[in-house]
Amino acid sequence: MRGTNPKLALSVTPVQNKTFYIRTYGCQMNESDSERIAGTLIDGGYSMVASADEADLVVLNTCSIREGAENKVYSDIGRLRLLQREAGATRTVAVAGCVAQQEGPALMARDRSVGLVFGSRAISRLPELIGRVEAGERVTAIDIHTRPDAPDSQVRGDPHRAWVTVMEGCDNHCAFCVVPATRGPEVSRHPDGVVAEVRELAERGYVEVTLLGQNVTSYGKNHGTDFADLLRRLHAIDGIRRIRYTTSHPKDFSDRLMDTLADCPKVARHLHLPLQSGSDRVLARMGRGYTYAAYRAKIERVRSLLPGLAITTDLIVGFPGETEADFSATLDAVREIGYFNLYGFKYSRRPGTLALTLDGHLDDDTRDQRLATLLAMQKATTLRHYQALVGSLVNVLVEGVSKRNTARLSGRLENGALAHFEGDPGWVGSFRQVRVTQASASALIGVAV
Ligand code: 5AD
Ligand code: SF4
């Protein structure tokens, strides 16, 4: 899950002399959690500052999906420790998110500069936890079995596009994945709460919502409802013009949901459906619960219902035991489906996962080469998809103004592609028709009409 919303960059009038800074790593779920952390801290009398050096409290909202992401967190903690020493400051470092959840007590033991470790399900308790830290305690709050339903205060980073978390956690056990351990079991918010939140967002002028969850396609089980019903209810809300959702699991991507997508034109014609591998042998070892043929049949059905649908995916290369033939099956699948775009990852060993115990771990070079091959192949396909749009008129939600040239705007199409064009900065937050004139593999250039 990543990237169509801006990083949290907010400025708030100081109400007290306590300040905080949040650095967010990883997925959109973390971005959304950071907005809630900011909201809760501001309610507690803190004000937000633009850099870690100025802050009394630095929150690192971390990601542990792959080793690289986790290592980045440790090097940042080290850098903060140095800063602390040089400045002789009494800054509190708080570690939130998936590394906090995964490493909790170990993080505390490893670094005295860390005063608070808290998981995503403890955000609403922050005032109490911070109070204890201010009283001199070092606090760990990483229980994954609670979830407040009502969203806490949230300082949204964008006035037109909002993230709305609809569920948290995951009940699947994909062999490579730490998420079930870090985010806990699946719990959905009550649909009435989600509908009320989106209605309120629409009243405040939001035009796009992105529904977030580790597996939104299995939303609603604990409330006797499902994602299709939720989408229908949200689709009926006036003012909301575009609904996005991420991320989905192929085994839960049902006919009923596809039919609902076809009935709800405000739901963006973009489907992110992680395949992970094109080899049935690897899919079985990953514990994904579907075969490539079953996945492809779903893609065929949804494409027949929604012509022009842009489909993107996640793929892991170099999973333990992946042979050249397995990897070729992945390339064949990518070729056959013709993804609009994809996120490719090289398999990363994660603590406590089943994949660690499997045989056939591959060396770094093999994984690097396979990833490079996959990404090069996709780049050519994405370029073709983008080039096919040259000459056409597309509907763009204007997201921002270029920092270097205020007449240059950028925005996204329904399919998630980024477009740049000249226009009035006052257009930000509105939909514009843009004639596409040029395409690269990363963005479109156009002229507003
Ligand atoms: N190694 C590599 N990629 C991973 N992902 C999840 N866990 C791992 C891992 N251990 C990828 C999957 C998932 C995406 C969010 O991250 O492709 O869909
Ligand atoms: Fe991880 Fe699989 Fe759950 Fe996705 S569905 S969060 S990959 S365990």
Note the pLDDT tens digit of each residue in 166-218.
999 999 999 999 999 888 899 999 999 999 999 999 999 999 999 999 999 99
We report the CATH number of the domain holding residue 23 as: 3.40.50.12160
Q: How would residue 150 be classed by pLDDT, with cut points 50, 70 and 90?
A: low
Q: Which ranges of 47-125 does DSSP label H, i.e. alpha helix?
A: 67-87, 97-110
CA atoms within 13 A on the CB side of 267: 25
What integer pLDDT is reported at residue 247 of this predicted model?
A: 95
Q: How would residue 3 be classed by pLDDT, with cut points 50, 70 and 90?
A: very low
How crowded is residue 150: how many other Cβ atoms within 10 Å of its Cβ?
10
Strand partners, 397: 412, 431
This prediction has a pTM of 0.92
Ligand nearest, relative to CA of residue 356: 1
Q: Is the CB of 214 under 6 A from ligand 2?
A: yes
Ranges 19-23, 112-116, 387-391: which has the least confidence = 112-116
What integer pLDDT is reported at residue 398 of this predicted model?
A: 97
Distances in Å between the Cα of 29 and the Cα atoms of 32, 290, 429, 440 are: 5, 25, 22, 29
Q: Is the CB of 274 under 6 A from ligand 1?
A: yes
What integer pLDDT is reported at residue 334 of this predicted model?
A: 98
Whether residue 97 lies inside any domain: the answer is yes
Distances in Å between the Cα of 285 and the Cα atoms of 28, 350, 355, 378 are: 28, 16, 8, 25
Whether residue 259 lies inside any domain: the answer is no
Structure tokens at 298: 């779903």
DSSP 279: -
Residues 6+ apart with CB under 8 A from 13: 47
CB 36 within 8 A of CB 153: yes
Distances in Å between the Cα of 208 and the Cα atoms of 97, 306, 414, 418 are: 25, 20, 11, 16
E-strand ranges in 318-392 read 341-346
Report the C-alpha gap between 99 and 105 in whole angstroms. 11
Whether residue 281 lies inside any domain: the answer is no
What integer pLDDT is reported at residue 434 of this predicted model?
A: 98
Whether residue 10 lies inside any domain: the answer is no
What integer pLDDT is reported at residue 15 of this predicted model?
A: 43
Q: How would residue 1 be classed by pLDDT, with cut points 50, 70 and 90?
A: very low
Rg of the chain on CA atoms, in Å: 22
CB 166 within 8 A of CB 195: no
Ligand nearest, relative to CA of residue 70: 1
CB 31 within 8 A of CB 8: yes
Report the C-alpha gap between 102 and 352 in whole angstroms. 9
Mutate to test the pocket of ligand 2, among 120, 176, 215, 246 (most ligand atoms within 8 A of CB): 215
Phi/psi at 21 (5° precision): -140, 140
Report the C-alpha gap between 418 and 425 in whole angstroms. 17
Report the C-alpha gap between 406 and 160 in whole angstroms. 19
What integer pLDDT is reported at residue 83 of this predicted model?
A: 76
What integer pLDDT is reported at residue 144 of this predicted model?
A: 78
What integer pLDDT is reported at residue 9 of this predicted model?
A: 40
Whether the bond between 246 and the residue before it is cis, its omega within 30 degrees of 0, is no
**Into how many domains does the chain fold?**
2
Mean pLDDT of 212-232: 96
- From the CA of 115, how far away is ligand 1's center (Å)? 30
CB 231 within 8 A of CB 217: no
- From the CA of 436, how far away is ligand 1's center (Å)? 34
The domain boundary, picked from 141, 159, 178, lies at: 141
Strand partners, 411: 398, 419
CB 126 within 8 A of CB 92: no
Is the CA virtual torsion 412, 418, 423, 424 positive or negative? positive
Q: Is the CB of 161 under 6 A from ligand 1?
A: no
**What rounded mean pLDDT belongs to the chain?**
92
Mutate to test the pocket of ligand 1, among 345, 346, 358, 364 (most ligand atoms within 8 A of CB): 345
- From the CA of 174, how far away is ligand 2's center (Å)? 6
Parent domain of 415: 393-448
We report the CATH number of the domain holding residue 398 as: 2.40.50.140
Report the C-alpha gap between 213 and 171 in whole angstroms. 12
Whether residue 279 lies inside any domain: the answer is no
Report the C-alpha gap between 107 and 99 in whole angstroms. 9
Examine the pLDDT at 8 and tell me if it is beyond 60. Answer: no
Whether residue 54 lies inside any domain: the answer is yes
Whether residue 214 lies inside any domain: the answer is no
Give the nearest ligand 1 atom to 348 CA: 1
Examine the pLDDT at 12 and tell me if it is beyond 70. Answer: no
Examine the pLDDT at 397 and tell me if it is beyond 50. Answer: yes
Examine the pLDDT at 361 and tell me if it is beyond 80. Answer: yes
Whether residue 297 lies inside any domain: the answer is no
Kind of pairing between the strands at 187-188 and 393-401: unpaired
Phi/psi at 32 (5° precision): -65, -45
Nearest Cα residue to 333 out of 285, 301, 369, 381: 381
Structure tokens at 92: 């509190």
User: What residue type is assigned to position 339 of the chain?
Assistant: Y
Q: How would residue 87 be classed by pLDDT, with cut points 50, 70 and 90?
A: low
Examine the pLDDT at 411 and tell me if it is beyond 90. Answer: yes
